[in-house]
Structure 1
Amino acid sequence: MSEDAAHHLRVLRMAPGQPIELFDGSNHIYSAQLEGLDKKTAVAKVMAGELADRESPLHLHLGQVMSRGEKMEFTIQKSIELGVNVITPLFSERCGVKLEGERLAKKIQQWQKIAIGACEQCGRNSVPLIRDAMTLEDWCAEPADGLKLNLHPRARQSINTLALPVESIRLLIGPEGGLSAPEIDMTSRQGFTDILLGPRVLRTETTALTAITALQVRFGDLG
């Protein structure tokens, strides 16, 4: 197993001889026994495997305009625990993150590791994809099935007024300063529906998790 997996086992205070559960991203789980563990590696003997589908019936693709520092990491980790399937980091007009080239590539790799760790924590067997970053305009223009939603404080619809059933959603979460007026107009032209979460203004990381939870309650597997 990888160094990250070995670290996770040490955090759990696992010891050789103890039973563990493994996953490989294929929606299967494997019963195994830990045979060796040190600072960088772990060795396990696999006993048996079986399909264990723990995925929500709602397919959620989160388009998150990048936030600074630990806020983005927090959003990725918690949204995966809540069942998001794909995350695309986005650049927008008011995005406060300035990353490109090698620095951006390393950040994407770091976020993918966070995704794996979140799966280990919550018991998901299929690891969500952290896509390469792109501009808001390019992401909104991608062909997509299902609903396309944009959180907007002056929207007239709420999640509870969206018609059932829904199997796939693209959810756009803007930056800390919100989307600009031209960007909001662009999302409307691309078929996004503006929705309102409630009367209070939420931080970007709170907005993402609140919206995902509400969508999973209405269309997915929470509650």
Structure 2
Amino acid sequence: MPRFYCPLPLAAGAQVTLPPQAARHVQVLRLQPGGVITLFNGEGGEWTASVTRMGRSDVDVEIGAHTAVEREAARAVHLVVGMPANERMDWLVEKATELGAASIQPVTTARSVVKLAGERAAKRQAHWQAIAVAACEQCGRNRVPPVHAPLALADWLRGGQSEGVRLLLSLRAGSQPLRQAAGGASQVWVLHGPEGGLTAQEEDAALAAGFVPASLGTRVLRAETASVAALAVLGLE
């Protein structure tokens, strides 16, 4: 059954006009009145809905039963990623969402190829958030992970986070295996650099901010591969 994100209050029996993106998808599928779809609004669970009207550019539905199903990972893994270049960040957001990332924070670092600010940063954030929504529609997640506005790594470290284990993906001597470093924590922050990695100074700043060096092995992984591998290790348990 087709699934669509509908960020509106939903309740059984309510009549709802679908948001433009969901309406376009319904029209592309050429659903007719009486057709049944699944909706989720990011607040938990999902609803069945029946198409009641197909307009030229809008679609009305009647909300049916709610199912309190959740498909979130047992451990909340938050990614803090040095943005890879070109379409690789798009790929990272899509696959990270499928693998259950709780949130994604893009950061710029000394070796970042991509540096975003102002209107350009806002457009890219909106683009990445739309990719996360589409990935949730495809994979069955009912909660959309936020893709935050890009920040300089130093600014993000100053802001900090109050809860959870902080892990820095690093090849430096003494790094613990990632799963071991995470232990039984229910909330984990994973930081890694872009192409070329973080500088020694940036790693030192992360350690000073409470991060612990952790390893995915001896091979050097691309930025987007590192995110996917970390989520596979920590999130698919």
- Does TM-score exceed 0.5, indicating one fold? yes
* 1:215 is the counterpart of 2:196: no
* 1:160 is the counterpart of 2:160: no
Give 1:197 deviation, angstroms.
0.7
User: Match of 1:2, as an amino acid?
Assistant: P
CA distance in 2: counterparts of 1:91 and 1:109, whole angstroms: 17
Give 1:10 deviation, angstroms.
5.1
1:85 is matched with: 102
CA distance in 2: counterparts of 1:92 and 1:39, whole angstroms: 46
CA distance in 2: counterparts of 1:63 and 1:163, whole angstroms: 15
Q: Give the TM-score of the pair, scaled to structure 2.
A: 0.84
* 1:58 is the counterpart of 2:63: no
Q: Is the 8 A contact 1:27 1:54 kept in 2?
A: no
Which runs of 5 or more residues in structure 2 are unaligned? Answer: 1-17
* 1:47 is the counterpart of 2:64: yes
Q: Is the 8 A contact 1:3 1:39 kept in 2?
A: no
* 1:147 is the counterpart of 2:158: no
User: Match of 1:25, as an amino acid?
Assistant: G
Which runs of 5 or more residues in structure 1 are unaligned? Answer: none
CA distance in 1: counterparts of 2:192 and 2:230, whole angstroms: 9
CA distance in 2: counterparts of 1:176 and 1:38, whole angstroms: 47
Match of 2:192 among 165, 173, 180: 173
User: Match of 2:35, as an amino acid?
Assistant: Q
CA distance in 2: counterparts of 1:103 and 1:123, whole angstroms: 30
User: Match of 1:144, as an amino acid?
Assistant: S
User: Match of 1:213, as an amino acid?
Assistant: A
Q: Is the 8 A contact 1:34 1:44 kept in 2?
A: yes
Q: Is the 8 A contact 1:159 1:195 kept in 2?
A: yes
Q: Is the 8 A contact 1:22 1:32 kept in 2?
A: yes
SS for the counterpart of 1:33 is strand
* 1:2-23 alpha-carbon deviations (Å, 9 max, x no partner): 2321343456x35223221100
Match of 1:194 among 213, 227, 230: 213
Match of 1:133 among 126, 131, 150: 150
Give 1:140 deviation, angstroms.
2.3
CA distance in 2: counterparts of 1:38 and 1:186, whole angstroms: 55
CA distance in 1: counterparts of 2:169 and 2:55, whole angstroms: 46
- Higher mean Cα deviation, 51-60 or 99-108? 51-60
Give 1:145 deviation, angstroms.
1.3
Give 1:35 deviation, angstroms.
3.3
Task: Give the aligned CA root-mean-square deviation in angstroms.
Answer: 1.9
Residues 169, 185 of structure 1: alpha-carbon distance in 2 compared, 3 angstrom cutoff: same
SS for the counterpart of 2:43 is coil
CA distance in 2: counterparts of 1:91 and 1:208, whole angstroms: 16
1:115 is matched with: 132
* 1:50-92 alpha-carbon deviations (Å, 9 max, x no partner): 3222222211211111122211111111101111111111111
Give 1:148 deviation, angstroms.
0.5
* 1:28 is the counterpart of 2:45: yes
